[in-house]
Structure 1
């Protein structure tokens, strides 16, 4: 429930940040939103790269899963983690 609310919030944040590209806000706010968009893209990209590097080679992520992780960030990772089977202890 809260994960879905987080996903919705993240979609709203992306929409707000991308709106600035098509209909720029007044000057001081425009630059702040541009920096926030850049930061968001870098952080979500870094998060995806780090996850992909820790994945076992026999369990690659699909393109759809990668896109969802890039868009929703930590909220998608939390949902993805719940779906994973527990690790077997040796």
Structure 2
């Protein structure tokens, strides 16, 4: 439930950041949002590259990880819990 709420929040953030590209906000805010968009693309891209280096993933999973970031990885962790050796 909370993971899906986080995904919705991230979609809203992406929408807000991308909206600035097509309909720019006033100048001081525009530059801040441009930097935030750059930072988000770099961080989600870095997260995707590091994950791809450790395990094979499909194109659809790559897309979801790039868009949703940490929330998609939390969903993965919830689906596949770690097995502890006892």
Output the TM-score relative to the length of structure 2: 0.93
Structure 2 residue runs of 5 or longer lacking an equivalent are none
| Aligned pairs, number | 86
Any stretches of 5+ residues in structure 1 without a counterpart?
A: none
User: Over the residues paired in the alignment, what is the CA RMSD in angstroms?
Assistant: 1.4
Q: 2:60 aligns with which of 51, 61, 64?
A: 64
Asked if 1:4 is matched to 2:4, the reply is yes
Report the secondary structure of 2:13's partner residue: helix
TM-fit CA distance, 1:71: 0.2
Counterpart in the other structure of 1:79: 75
In 1, the alpha carbon distance for the partners of 2:76 and 2:70 equals 10
TM-score by length of 1: 0.89
